Each structure stands twice: as structure tokens, then as C-alpha cells.
Amino acid sequence: MNNVSCALTIAGTDPSGGAGIHADLKTFQELKSYGMSVITSVVAQNTTGVQEILHLPNEMIVSQLDSVLSDLPVHAFKTGMIANTEMMEVILEKITTINAPYVMDPVMVATSGDALIHVDARSYLREHLLPLTTIVTPNIQEAEFITGNTIESLSDMQDAANQIVYKHGAGAALVKGGHLREEAVDILYDGNKIHTFTSERIHTKNTHGTGCTYSAAITAYLSQGIPLPKAVDKAKRYVTAAIKHALPLGKGNGPTNHFAPRMDEARQ
């Protein structure tokens, strides 16, 4: 098979299959990019929350990155959960050698409310990793941390997206308003203009892994050479269908459904 698009995720695990590496690989597969993964932390979690976390030694993270980078092409990559500053430092050194779009999901807290990264690591992420990105995809809470400002309206989201690019050096910023208004509105600033992506709000508690799914879909489309903002537009459709048909599995917040976007497309 020629012209295969290769997408890499660097993130933590979710044995219940809804978030992290698992959501990323399912999304890459559904969108027809070849998926690869480097695991940062093994997370015992499910739809109700996080039970335990084991961080892999930094040497093992580097070793996994070397295994991939010495042997296979990477056409786009994303980072998710990177738990602490030391881990960020070793990952930074390796990813600066990759010549491909970089999507950062600045994961800080899980949908369940459990902290996924050390508080100190947030500043390192903002100061050192953010300037390397092609696009960063913060939710409101993460955008508030990055900018230091409260976000309560669409115009606050636009200001935050602008600031994340101009002041903090991201290539582009997609501020996700999933939790803000009746409609699910996301604001993208790509360095040229503001783009708005709106979908209906779906009344469901099954939103485990939505942020991972969205950023993985953007990564898959970028790996295929689709430019921003088209890649975001297509990814927004993917995640909306995945939430609309989210699976009522588990006792807490159920996972997104990766078969759903394909089914929706087939119906059109």
C-alpha cells in the first residue's frame, strides 16, 4: 500500500478503552491513518474515575520514541497526558527531531475530575512544549490556566485563542467550549483569522474521552495532508457523531463511539 499516512500518539493508557492512547488509536484506525503509540503512564481508570497511576521510567519513554522514530515515518503526532516536568523534558528533546505537525491536547484533569499531571508540570508545558505546537486544543479550564484569564463568553474564548498564539507561541489554538453554552461551540485561531465550529449540544453523561478523540481526529487528518482549519472541521464532525452515539457502558461517564461517525456518513 503506497501513501499510507502514519499518526503517532504520546500519551497515557485507559484499560477501559475510552480515553488516552486507546481513544487515539481507535480514532486513527477509523479515519484510516496508521496508528502508533508511545506510552507515558499506565493509568488504572474506568468510566467512574482514576484508581491508580504508574509512570514509566523516562528511559523507557525515550526508548519507545527511538523505536518508532528510527524505523517508521511520522506524518503527524499528538501528545496527551505527560505527567511531570522530567517526562516533558525527555519528550521535548525527541519531538524536536520530528518534522511533522504537532497536535497538543494539554491534558490536565480527567472528565471524572482526577488530576492527570503534576501541578508544576503545567507551567513547563506552557513555556516549553506549547511553542512547538502546530495546534493546541485546550478546554475552557485549560485555556484559563494557559492565559491566566477567566473565560465566560465566546468573546473571552476568542481572546484566549489569540493570546495562546501571540503571547504563548502556539501555532494555532482551538478553545473548546463544550462546557460553556447551550450549543457546543469551539473557537480556532490559526494565526490569520478566527474560525467558529458549532454543533448541537448532546444531552449525555457519556463524554469520557471526548477531548482525546477530537485531538486524535485532528492528528489523523493532518497526517493525511489536510490543512487547518479543514482538519478541525472534519474532526469536529467526527467527535460530535462519536458523542451523539456514545456508549452507555460502565457505571460513570461512558465512552465515545468510534463506529458512529462511519454510520452517520453511510446514512447521508
Ligand X SMILES: Cc1ncc(COP(=O)(O)O)c(N)n1
Which are the catalytic amino acids? 176, 207, 209-212
Q: Note the residues at the interface with ligand X (CB under 6 A).
A: 11-14, 19-20, 43, 45, 80-81, 107, 110-111, 116, 208-212
Residue 237 CB, nearest approach to ligand ADP (Å): 10
User: Which residue number places its CB atom closest to ligand ADP?
Assistant: 211
CA distance linking residue 148 with residue 232, whole number of Å? 25
Q: Calculate helix-pair angle for 85-95, 58-69, nearest 10 degrees.
A: 20
The one among 179, 181, 230, 262 contacting ligand ADP by CB under 6 A: 179
Residue 139 CB, nearest approach to ligand X (Å): 7
Residue 139 engages ligand ADP in binding (rule: CB under 6 A)? yes
14 interacts with, out of ligand ADP, ligand X, none, CB within 5 to 8 A per kind: ligand X
Residue 29 engages ligand ADP in binding (rule: CB under 6 A)? no
> What residue spans of the chain are helical by DSSP H?
20-30, 58-69, 85-95, 119-124, 140-147, 154-166, 210-223, 230-244, 260-267
Note whether 55 and 87 are within 8 A (CB).
yes
Q: Which is nearer to ligand X, 12 or 138 (CB)?
A: 12
CA distance linking residue 239 with residue 28, whole number of Å? 13
Residues 6+ apart with CB under 8 A from 43: 12, 13, 14, 15, 20, 50, 52, 53, 81, 116
Interface with ligand ADP (CB under 6 A): 111, 139, 176-179, 184, 186, 199, 201-202, 207, 210-211, 214, 236, 239-240, 243
